[in-house]
Homo-oligomer: A and B are copies of this chain.
Amino acid sequence: MDDAATAKLDDFIRRKGMRRTPQREAIVQLAFAEDEHFTSEELFDRVRRKNINASRATVYRTIALLVEAGLLQEIDLGGDLKTYDPNFLDKPTHNHLVCVDCGKVIEFEDSHLELLNDCLTRRLGFRPKRQSIKIEACCEQLRTKGSCPSLIEARLSRKRLPVRKR
């Protein structure tokens, strides 16, 4: 978590008359420790692995806090669980491409896409607030060679494949 984020959170907490607690500090730090998206439960896992004294409820409450403060974005990756993205502060306009085979998520930005969306929104008589683009696709390599590097990587790291059913 960079300084801008720290400052923003401090400001938010002060304005709200809230308190700084060790649990909050630790959870927030862990949320931004990696660039990867996470679910509530995954963040709670990080907390447990670090032997931090914070309950599941506090993790959920802190996530809600960060979302409200605009530091964390709730995004839809297609699963049934809510996913959070810690990278929107640095790249406010990025979009997501999800590999339907391995669930790997790739973030990308494109100014043309942004501009086009903006125009479309205005043409429809609206004022753009936020646009989220999710592209579901599969690797060329998977199709042609029968295996995709992301899939292999996902298997090696024993990563959870995308959830389809709750």
Contacts and interface: CB of A to CB of B under 8 A. Distances in A.
Interface of A: 76, 97, 99-100, 106, 108, 110, 112-113, 116-117, 120-121, 124-141, 143
Nearest to A110: B120
B134 A131 contact: yes
Given A116-B112, A117-B113, A129-B100, A106 B124 contact: yes
7 contacts: A113-B116, A125-B141, A126-B137, A127-B137, A127-B143, A129-B136, A132-B136
A127 B120 CA distance: 25
Give the number of times this chain occurs in the complex, counting copies: 2
A143 B139 CA distance: 43
Contacts of A120: 108, 110, 113, 135
Nearest to A138: B127
Given A113-B116, A116-B113, A121 B143 contact: no
B135 A121 contact: yes
A87 to B, nearest CB: 17
Contacts of A130: 135-137
B136 A133 contact: no
A133 to B, nearest CB: 5
Contacts of A138: 126-127, 129
